Amino acid sequence: MKGKFISLEGGEGSGKSTAILCIQAWLESHNVPFIMTREPGGTPLAEEIRQLVLNPRDEKVNDTAELLLMFAARAQHLSEKIQPALEAGAWVICDRFLDSSYVYQGKARGGDTQQLDLLSEWVVGDHRPDATLLLDVPVEVGQQRIVQRQYQDRLDKESLVFHQKVREGFLERAHSEPNRVTIIDASVSIEAVKSQIENQLEHLFQAWCGGK
């Protein structure tokens, strides 16, 4: 049987790293074969593109260049890692995927949605996530968490207004596709976040595998 594809989304400082550890532990305890991966990145070439597009630099990065680099990395990642893993029956847990492009390059940068639709159709086609967990926190909370980090990438350093649009963009996508996207309230305690994630995984596991 083909594997299942779950993406994890959220703004800066929404606690994706903790969520990933929780998902990993849950899948292991249920003997589900899986791989963990991330975007932009996930293969050697795509990780090189990640450095190119996310490292802070003096030169202004053109919005179209940023968008195309995200999709170039995605094309490589999908064909060389995600699709083979799904074909082999593994679940793929991906830290960010297509929603991030719609939200960061579309909503926050003001990119054209029709162009995003065209690129998505071309690069991703039907290989969309079966389910998405959206970690939602107020922007101020996320910002407080990231200022404590030693390394901040080019997008972490964007304005508060940019990050507000990111949060709004994710919530809009969640509301427009409620069957795929589950909002996780990530402003509560770690234990409470974990239990929301575990409940949703349990629900998906029952729906997809009948609990087996």
Q: Which two tokens stand for residue 91?
A: 């679940």
The answer to whether 71 and 77 have CB atoms below 8 angstroms apart is no
- Using an 8 Å Cβ cutoff, are 117 and 105 in contact? no
Is residue 104 at the binding interface for ligand TMP, with CB under 6 A as the rule?
Answer: yes
Nearest approach, Cβ of 83 to ligand TMP (angstroms)?
17
Closest by CA position to 158, among listed 96, 105, 97: 105
The token pair at 84 is: 């083979």
Decide whether 30 or 138 has the Cβ nearer to ligand TMP: 138
32 versus 69: smaller Cβ distance to ligand TMP: 69
Q: Which of 4, 81, 96, 165 binds ligand TMP (CB under 6 A)?
A: 96
Q: 120-149 mask for ligand TMP (x: CB under 6 A)?
A: ------------------------------
> What is the DSSP code string of 119-154?
HHHHHTTT---SEEEEEE--HHHHHHHHHT-S---T
Minimum distance, C-beta of residue 198 to ligand TMP, in the bound complex (Å): 22
Which position among 6, 27, 32, 70 is part of the footprint of ligand TMP (CB under 6 A)?
A: 70
Of 39, 49, 107, 136, the one binding ligand TMP by CB under 6 A:
39
The residue (of 95 and 136) whose beta carbon lies closer to ligand TMP is 95
Dihedral sign of CA atoms 5, 6, 11, 15 in order: negative
Q: Give 51-113 as a DSSP string.
A: HHHHS--SSPPPHHHHHHHHHHHHHHHIIIIIHHHHHTT-EEEEES-HHHIIIIIIIITT--H
The pair of structure tokens assigned to 208 is: 């997809």
Q: Which 157-196 residues touch ligand TMP, going by CB under 6 A?
A: none
In the complex, the smallest distance separating the C-beta of residue 89 from ligand TMP, rounded to whole angstroms, is 25
Asked if 8 is part of the footprint of ligand TMP (rule: CB under 6 A), the reply reads: no
Binding site for ligand TMP (CB under 6 A): 38-40, 54, 70, 95-96, 100-101, 104-105, 153, 155
